């Protein structure tokens, strides 16, 4: 799916330019830039969570290179809903320019404002709701209610003289939603009658046949599991999944249990949800987790973060006995979430750890304790048939999801040439109902590592992987600056190579000989001598020990 980098042509008057910056070929980093008449509108600004081959990385941001130097042209950032993969990068964008307006629903903005408060940023915001239209710069925006695994999600229609674009954000079509808020298919049909020139549509479940099960089907299962649990119950879920938390609270209350929230983001988000009326908690059900330890084991439910196996999240720390609450024999742990691609190994490690401690672990593979928040193939086909869009751009998903979504579009009658399989950085121009690819930007990953943003490179991560998988060898040699003759050494130290340092005694003469030959050839440059050492010991280690460790040679002149 890699497209050669090509600079886009100058944007013609009356043309809308659409550039996905993140979210294509991955589940996360969702961000799309729209340009018209010299102004930019951004839809979503999320993060991607690191995988095992990215050690030490906390978050991965969209590459803002696409808008570098044009921050003053941004008229607003529309946030479709409050999940991290759609709002998590907002603080990093606003650190570049703090007065960019944020546009979203009440809950979405409340969640992002709480996040920005931790970064000491007070944003400019515009709260919108379904059915509302707003003129933002040259963009006429219309907001449409969609159903998702977090309340208050919105699709956005973007009107310009170049045409009408509809971006769904994340959505599904639950016909009996817990909050009674349906995906507004009547609004979709009205937009379809008007004529949707470009449809940006969620692809996450495009390869799943049929329809996404109802959220309310989960309630009875949670009620049954919690009702039968002999001791403590620990439920792990996304910290923003208000509907799931509501179901857990209802089940706990029905069985005389109290609920304690664990994890900073869970406490923060559910406090906001309750204050705004999205979460309804009966009196006397919530309890501080420190006081919960005084309750009998069969009278408490812990609602925690860590359902994706994140190493520092509450559930992982419990599995490693690194938390005040230590799961044990007779406890029940419920993983009420789906697996984000790439997290499978981490999640199963946590499940194994909890099982080893004696806990009964209930998860999606052995009980119906979660349903997806994304539309399956049947729902997407409904959308295509209702909207009849002229052009389709599948977004939000890995390549197999984008491909499956494109095929659904074509099955519904949209011509293959009007179905754009793009990647991050693909530049698409829209005018008079025609969408065409005009360029490809070179966008990469921006890694957040502690307080460092964008400093870590792929080369650094490769070094970390080598250190973790192959070990480290240092070689110190002191040579005479004038003659190149060895004064001291070579001295070799190894870490993580699983061999005693004495094993390197046989290579020391080889290093000394290589340096002597280099000196006799007139080589005096310190860097060149270090490369001689690196090549000599590297070749020996590879042949003798079958390893490729990181080698750090130090040649010191005396």
Residues labelled as active-site residues? 202, 374
The tokens for 241 are 């999944």
Ligand-binding annotation for 207, yes or no, is no
Residue holding tokens 């080893």? 356
- The answer to whether residues 335 and 361 touch, using CB atoms and an 8 Å cutoff, is yes
Question: 499-518 in b/e burial notation, b at 16+ Cβ within 10 A?
Answer: eeeeebeebbeebbebbeeb
Contact residues for 424 (Cβ-Cβ < 8 A; gap 6+):
20, 21, 22, 23, 24, 25, 26, 29, 62, 63, 443
243 annotated among ligand-binding-site residues: no
Three-class DSSP category at 234 = strand
CB 89 within 8 A of CB 62: yes
371 is in an annotated binding site: yes
Q: Are 554 and 530 in contact (CB under 8 A)?
A: yes
Cα 75 to the center of its chain, rounded Å: 25
How many other CB atoms are found less than 10 A from the CB of residue 180? 6
- Helical ranges in 301-412 per DSSP H: 314-319, 344-356, 377-387, 399-411
323 is in an annotated binding site: no
Query: What three-state secondary structure class fits 249?
Result: helix
- Phi/psi at 286 (5° precision): -75, 145
31-36 and 16-22 beta bridge pairing: antiparallel
Residue 81 annotated as binding?
yes
Our measurement of the distance from residue 314's CA atom to the centroid of its chain's CA atoms, rounded to an integer in Å, reads 18
CA nearest to 335, candidates 303, 311, 288:
303
Q: Is 83 annotated as contributing to ligand binding?
A: yes
CA–CA separation, 388 and 166 (whole Å): 12
With 0-12 / 13-18 / 19 or more C-beta atoms within 10 angstroms meaning exposed / middle / buried, residue 367 is middle
> 118 Cβ partners below 8 Å, 6+ apart?
91
Within 8 A by CB and 6+ apart from 538, the residues are 548, 551
Q: Is 285 left (phi over 0), alpha (psi -120 to 50) or beta?
A: alpha
CB environment 462-493: b (16+ within 10 A), e (fewer): eebebeeebbbbebbbebeeeebebeebbebe
CA 25 to chain centre: 12
Annotated ligand binding at 283? The verdict is no
- Flag whether 280 is marked binding: no
In whole angstroms, give the CA distance from residue 505 to residue 502: 5
Residue 374 CA, chain-centre distance (Å), reads 15
Question: Token pair for residue 492?
Answer: 């070799």
For helices 526-544 and 508-520, the axis angle rounded to 10 degrees is 150
Closest CA to 139 of 125, 159, 154, 157: 159
The response to whether 372 counts as a known ligand-binding position is: yes
56 is in an annotated binding site: yes
Q: Is 474 annotated as a binding residue?
A: no
451 marked as part of a ligand binding site: no
Looking at the DSSP bridge assignments, the partners of residue 449 are 452
Summarize the annotated binding site for Ca(2+) as residue ranges. 56, 58, 449
Summarize the annotated binding site for Zn(2+) as residue ranges. 81, 83, 85-86, 148, 170, 396
Summarize the annotated binding site as residue ranges. 56, 58, 81, 83, 85-86, 148, 170, 239-241, 370-374, 396, 449
Summarize the annotated binding site for substrate as residue ranges. 239-241, 370-374
């Amino acid at each position: 799916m890699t497209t050669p980098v090509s600079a886009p042509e100058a944007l013609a008057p009356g043309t809308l330019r659409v550039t996905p910056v993140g979210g294509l070929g991955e589940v996360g980093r969702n961000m799309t830039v729209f340009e018209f008449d010299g102004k930019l509108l951004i839809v979503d600004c999320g993060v991607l969570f690191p995988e095992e081959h990215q050690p030490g990385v906390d978050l991965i941001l969209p590459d803002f290179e696409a808008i570098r130097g044009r921050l003053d042209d941004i008229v607003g950032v529309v946030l479709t809903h409050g999940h991290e993969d759609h709002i998590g990068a907002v603080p990093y964008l606003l650190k570049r320019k703090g007065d960019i307006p944020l546009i979203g629903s009440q809950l979405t903005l409340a969640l992002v404002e709480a996040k920005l408060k931790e970064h000491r940023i007070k944003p400019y915001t515009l709260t919108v709701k379904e059915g509302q239209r707003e003129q933002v710069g040259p963009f006429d925006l219309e907001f449409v209610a969609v159903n998702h695994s977090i309340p208050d999600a919105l699709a956005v229609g973007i009107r310009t003289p170049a045409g009408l674009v509809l971006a769904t954000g994340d959505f599904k079509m639950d016909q009996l939603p817990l909050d009674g808020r349906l995906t507004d298919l009547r609004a979709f049909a009205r937009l379809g009658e008007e004529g949707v020139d470009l449809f940006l549509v969620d692809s996450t479940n495009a390869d799943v046949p049929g329809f996404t099960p109802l959220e309310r089907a989960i309630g009875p299962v949670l009620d049954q599991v919690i009702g039968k649990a002999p001791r403590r119950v620990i439920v792990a879920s996304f910290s923003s999944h208000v509907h799931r938390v509501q179901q857990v609270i209802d089940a706990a209350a029905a069985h005389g249990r109290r609920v304690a929230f664990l994890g900073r983001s869970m406490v923060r988000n559910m406090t906001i949800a309750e204050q705004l009326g999205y979460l309804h908690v009966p009196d006397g059900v919530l309890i501080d987790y420190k006081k919960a330890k005084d309750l009998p084991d069969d009278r408490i439910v812990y609602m925690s973060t860590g359902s994706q196996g994140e190493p520092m999240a509450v559930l992982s720390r419990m599995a490693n006995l690194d938390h005040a609450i230590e799961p044990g024999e007779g406890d029940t742990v419920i993983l009420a979430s789906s697996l984000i691609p790439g997290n499978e190994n981490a999640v199963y490690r946590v499940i194994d750890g909890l099982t080893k401690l004696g806990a009964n672990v209930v998860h999606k593979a052995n009980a119906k304790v979660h349903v997806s928040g994304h539309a399956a193939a049947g729902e997407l086909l409904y959308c295509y048939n209702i909207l009849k869009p002229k052009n389709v751009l599948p977004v939000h998903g890995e390549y197999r999801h984008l491909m499956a979504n494109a095929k659904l579009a074509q099955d519904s009658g949209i011509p293959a040439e009007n179905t754009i399989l793009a990647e991050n950085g693909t530049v698409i121009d829209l005018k008079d109902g025609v969408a065409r690819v005009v360029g490809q930007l070179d966008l990469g990953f921006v890694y957040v590592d502690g307080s460092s943003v964008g400093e870590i490179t792929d080369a650094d991560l490769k070094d970390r992987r080598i250190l973790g998988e192959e070990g480290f060898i240092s070689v110190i040699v002191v040579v005479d600056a004038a003659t190149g003759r060895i004064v001291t050494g070579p001295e070799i130290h190894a870490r993580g190579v699983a061999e005693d340092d004495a094993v390197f005694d046989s290579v020391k003469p080889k290093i000394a000989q290589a340096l002597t030959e280099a000196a006799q050839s007139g080589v005096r440059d310190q860097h060149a001598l270090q490369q001689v050492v690196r090549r000599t010991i590297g070749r020996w280690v590879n042949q003798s020990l079958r390893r490729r460790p990181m080698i750090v040679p130090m040649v010191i002149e005396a």
